[in-house]
């Protein structure tokens, strides 16, 4: 009776030694403090290694079951240590710095990857994640796919703009139709509008509240609405109910209010970006044949 557990123990012990030799430097227990970074880890097959995520990691939905470490700029050292992570992944916004120092002192590897919204950053991040996950080939493939879809998107926009002028767009981030913030220059929203082939009519910097009158004066042909609490037609209805003045704009009058997932706008570019761009483009250029999910028209 006593020999069997001993043998099993010995066997598992051997197995563990064998695997740890093979993957000695690869971190096994991951905590991710960045929405799009978590998504990429999952896309690269590392979901089973995640033991905790921050409050911005909402996609894919299966991450909801993991322990939540809170907001990326307000991390708690001991809470994270309780998850016994080998690595903490996050963007340059991760903090506060004393907590990161404490974690580093406790032997947790801190990997900071940029959340900048541009393609070279995504490429670099993916290759680095591939190294850390031990799946460099898969990472290379995913990075190439992402790049080719972005390139296909750009080519498609160029073609579409030959047949139709770029529409003037405003992108609104709101809450149940109210408290609207308009995406200005140098924002993730602005990047999305441009890559989808639109012209951002807002000239201010950052996300700012504009008066309904100022919005009406911009007279956008398409309104992109990223509502944090409502989706689809409910969001559209709430927008016009809360801001009756907007009914005077071309976009609302012609029914060209496009719904965008607000989580696409925060934390850098994630794997859902190409699909998001394609659906925006479809709304910007309704008469041009849309791109499918392989990036081909």
Partner 1 sequence: MTRIVAARPLFLLLGFLLLLVLWLSLALGPVSLPLGDTLRALARLIGLPVSGDGLGQAELIIGQIRLPRTLLGVATGGVLALAGVAMQGLFRNPLADPGLIGVSSGAALGAAIAIVFGASIGGLPEAFAPYLLSACAFAGGLLVTALVYRLGRHNGQTSVATMLLAGIALTALAGALIGLFTYLADDATLRTLTFWNLGSLNGASYPRLWPLLLITLLVACWLPRRVDALNALLLGESEARHLGFDVERLKVELILCTALGVGAAVAAAGMIGFIGLVVPHLLRLIVGPDHRVLLPASMFGGAILLLLADLVARMALAPAELPIGIVTALIGAPFFLYLLMRGRS
- Partnered with residue 161 across adjacent β-strands are none
Q: Residue 249 CB: number of other CB atoms within 10 A?
A: 24
CA distance 221 to 258: 11
Query: Residues of 153-170 as b/e, b for ≥16 C-beta within 10 angstroms?
Result: beebbeebeeeeebbbbb
Q: 200 or 221, CB closer to partner 1?
A: 200
Nearest-approach distance from CB 117 to partner 1, in angstroms: 13
**Which C-beta is closer to partner 1: that of 83 or that of 110?**
83
Sign of CA dihedral 73, 74, 77, 79: negative
**Side-chain half-sphere CA neighbours of 3 within 13 A:** 0
Q: For the CB of residue 96, give the shortest distance to partner 1 in the complex, in Å.
A: 5
Cα–Cα dist 92/205, whole Å: 21
Cβ-contact 273, 279 below 8 angstroms: no
Residue 247 CB, shortest distance to partner 1, in Å, is: 27
Query: By C-beta, is 208 or 272 nearer to partner 1?
Result: 208
Nearer to partner 1, 68 or 241 (CB): 68
Q: State whether residue 210 is helix, strand or coil.
A: coil
Expressed in angstroms, the distance from the first to the final Cα of the chain is 66
Indicate the residue among 107 and 255 with the shorter CB distance to partner 1.
Answer: 107
Q: Which lies closer to partner 1 via its Cβ, residue 225 or residue 252?
A: 225
Residue 236, φ and ψ in degrees, nearest 5: -60, -45
Residue 146 parent element (H or E): helix 136-163
Distance CA 273, CA 163 (A): 25
Residue pair 12/6 in contact by the 8 Å Cβ criterion:
no
Nearer to partner 1, 104 or 158 (CB): 104
Q: At its nearest, how many Å lie between partner 1 and the CB of residue 210? A: 12
| Closest separation in Å from C-beta 65 to partner 1 | 14
> What whole-number distance in Å separates Cα of residue 35 and Cα of residue 63?
10
CB of 224 to partner 1, least distance (A): 17
**Which residues in this chain contact partner 1 in the complex, by CB under 8 A?**
52, 55, 67-71, 73-83, 93, 96-99, 101-102, 105-106, 206-208, 266
Q: How far is the CB of 79 from partner 1 (least distance, A)?
A: 3
CB-nearer residue toward partner 1: 168 or 270: 270
- Provide, rounded to whole angstroms, the least separation between the CB of residue 105 and partner 1: 6
Quote the DSSP letter at residue 117: S
- Altogether, the residues listed in the chain come to a count of 297
């Amino acid at each position: 009776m006593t020999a069997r557990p001993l043998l099993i123990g010995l066997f598992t012990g051997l197995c563990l030694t064998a695997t740890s030799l093979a993957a000695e430097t690869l971190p096994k227990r991951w905590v991710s403090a960045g929405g799009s970074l978590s998504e990429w880890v999952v896309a690269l097959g590392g979901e089973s290694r995640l033991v905790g995520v921050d409050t911005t990691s909402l996609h894919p939905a299966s991450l909801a079951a993991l322990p939540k470490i809170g907001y990326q700029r307000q991390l708690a050292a001991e809470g994270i240590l309780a998850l016994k992570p080998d690595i903490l992944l996050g963007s340059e916004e991760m903090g506060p710095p004393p907590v990161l120092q404490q974690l580093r002192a406790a032997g947790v590897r801190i990997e900071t990857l940029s959340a900048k919204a541009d393609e070279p950053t995504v490429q670099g991040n993916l290759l680095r994640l591939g190294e850390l996950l031990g799946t460099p080939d898969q990472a290379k493939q995913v990075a190439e796919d992402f790049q080719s879809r972005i390139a296909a998107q750009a080519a498609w926009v160029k073609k579409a703009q030959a047949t139709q002028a770029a529409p003037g767009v405003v992108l609104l981030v709101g809450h149940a139709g109210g408290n609207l913030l308009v995406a200005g220059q140098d924002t993730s929203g602005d990047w999305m509008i441009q890559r989808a082939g639109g012209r951002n009519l807002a000239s201010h910097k950052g996300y700012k509240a504009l008066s309904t009158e100022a919005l009406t004066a911009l007279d956008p042909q398409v309104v992109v609405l990223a509502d944090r609490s409502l989706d689809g037609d409910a969001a559209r209805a709430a927008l016009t109910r809360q801001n009756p003045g907007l009914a005077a704009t071309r976009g609302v009058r012609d029914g060209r209010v496009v719904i965008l997932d607000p989580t696409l706008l925060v934390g850098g570019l994630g794997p859902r970006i190409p699909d998001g761009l394609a659906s925006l483009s479809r709304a910007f250029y309704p008469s041009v044949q849309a791109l499918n999910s392989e990036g081909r028209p």
